[in-house]
Structure 1
Amino acid sequence: MGSEYFGLGYDGPPFTLFSAAHVWPLGAVALICVLVAVFTPRLGAPGREALRWGLALFSLANWLGWDLWQRANGVWSLAYSLPLHLCTFAVPLTALLLVTRSYRLYEVLYFWGFAGSTQAMLTPDLTTSGYNFPHFVYWIFWTSHGIILWAVVFAAAAWGYRPTVRSIVRVIVFTNLYLLIVALANWLTGGNYMFIARKPDFPSLIDFLGPWPWYIIPLQLIGVLAFAIVYLPYAIDDWRRAQRGAVPSH
């Protein structure tokens, strides 16, 4: 298969922000979220189970596909290829959520997905690698971020899951514990997972947040703000529930 589709040395036109190759998949991810939200409750139990397991298998296939692509092109390494960045770690967690129906995993993936994956899709690192439609890496990027959101929407539509204020606290604690594990992995491998060992090699928001390691503090504050923003629709619902004397059960 040629480099245009699968190889490392991509020689096609580079990916650019807000081009058709950027806007169309953004729309597709959003449309699938809407379709999952609308049609999941209308499916019978067999249909919901089929969708549940289909999404789980798709998550695993996406995760393995990215790993196999790196190995096939000779670029797999401990410092670069472990699933330790937030979104790459979220993909196998997505499969685990769908298999186990864990509400705690739902909480994590709700905030990581809507605060993290959406930001990644709005400013894709495809602009750095250059991989564009129809290259394999292009498809992996969009499906790996999309599947997190689709699974979260499915969990809400099929099982009635929703985050609460306590969810924000739990996810912040979990994320910081995860950061400690990632920091250890960076030290052992020489990697820069989650960009906490040093600034990324490409221009980013981190450039405006001060030197290492101090930029990690404002980066966390931005994360908390993002969590609060994506919780806002539920905060409004919480307020309305409180007015009626009803509160979320989770």
Structure 2
Amino acid sequence: MAVGAGPPVSMALYSPEHWAALLVIAVATPLFVRAARRGSGRWMVLAGWVLLAISVAWGLWDLRPSVFDIQRSLPLQLSDLARLTTSLALITGDWRWIAPTYYWGLTLNVQSLLTPDLSYAVDPRLEYHMYWLLHGAVLIAPIALVWGRGHRPTWAWYRYTWLLSLGWMATTMLVNVATDSNYGYLNGTPPGRSLLDVMGPWPTYLAVGCGALGVVWAGMTWPWGRLRRSRSG
């Protein structure tokens, strides 16, 4: 079903469609963690390749001339980058891919799940399922990798993710200025409700948000170091 001409139709927050997606993710997460603990990990490599293929296909689908919009179609959202790191984390098991997947997937991606900015531009059914499949994968994968496969966050993870994040912010903000866009909501808050609304106007919310992330990410790192020290002692 195509949306047709006129402004895009948005999914209502906490509508039955929203609650259904959250419920599926909530049920799937412990199942994947359990499978990660018991299996050899080969299925996670396969899942990574499948996720990578779907992500690339979805990105190319949105770049078609018939639907291309420079203000929304470029793969510059942090979720686009997170899908890449998630795929490579599952395929390689390398901490350089797991680290950003862990921090982004369990913080910024959660906002996309709780307060999604989901506007249907062409095909509501396809766009709905792809949104929740891809965002759900970015949440479930780091949980399975850390709590299922035993990869443990370190302060090197923390520093490395900050370098990637700041590089993405700088690049995306330049593109936003050049194209009058708002990728990553770095140049303005989302049209719907979000956590950014309580952090002040632009650019205040960027500074507040980065400060809050610094604290939260540190809280996601410190307990693992303490656990390692207690076990080695």
Q: TM-score, normalised by structure 1?
A: 0.77
User: Does structure 2 retain, via aligned residues, the 8 Å contact 1:62–1:140?
Assistant: no
1:23 aligns with 2:16: no
Distance 1:160 1:244, change over 3 A: closer
Distance 1:243 1:89, change over 3 A: closer
| Percent of residue pairs identical | 25
* Count of residues paired in the alignment: 231
Which sits farther off after the overlay, 103-112 or 191-200? 191-200
Matched letter for residue 61 of structure 2: L
Q: Which residue of 1 aligns with 2:58?
A: 65
Q: In 2, distance between residues paired with 1:238 and 1:212?
A: 35
Which sits farther off after the overlay, 110-119 or 214-223? 214-223
1:53 counterpart (22, 29, 46): 46
Q: Unaligned stretches of 5+ in structure 1?
A: none
Q: TM-score, normalised by structure 2?
A: 0.82
Distance 1:168 1:155, change over 3 A: same
Matched letter for residue 146 of structure 1: G
Using the TM superposition, give the Cα deviation of residue 134 of structure 1 relative to its aligned residue in structure 2, in angstroms: 6.8
Q: Which residue of 1 aligns with 2:88?
A: 96
Matched letter for residue 28 of structure 1: V
Distance 1:211 1:236, change over 3 A: closer
Using the TM superposition, give the Cα deviation of residue 114 of structure 1 relative to its aligned residue in structure 2, in angstroms: 0.3
Q: Write the deviation string for residues 135-193 of structure 1: whole angstroms up to 9, x where unpaired.
A: 11111111111111232234336652121244223322321122112122223333211
SS at match of 2:107: helix
1:194 counterpart (184, 192, 196): 184
Q: Write the deviation string for residues 28-48 of structure 1: whole angstroms up to 9, x where unpaired.
A: 2122221111122322x4xx3
User: Does structure 2 retain, via aligned residues, the 8 Å contact 1:60–1:95?
Assistant: no
User: Does structure 2 retain, via aligned residues, the 8 Å contact 1:60–1:92?
Assistant: no
Matched letter for residue 58 of structure 1: L
Q: Which residue of 2 aligns with 1:87?
A: 79
Q: In 2, distance between residues paired with 1:213 and 1:162?
A: 34
Q: In 2, distance between residues paired with 1:97 and 1:237?
A: 19
Q: Write the deviation string for residues 108-139 of structure 1: whole angstroms up to 9, x where unpaired.
A: 1100000111121011113xx268x9711111
SS at match of 1:169: helix
SS at match of 1:135: helix
Using the TM superposition, give the Cα deviation of residue 90 of structure 1 relative to its aligned residue in structure 2, in angstroms: 0.9
Which sits farther off after the overlay, 82-91 or 157-166? 157-166
Matched letter for residue 52 of structure 1: V
Q: In 1, distance between residues paired with 2:108 and 2:36?
A: 24
Q: In 1, distance between residues paired with 2:37 and 2:59?
A: 32
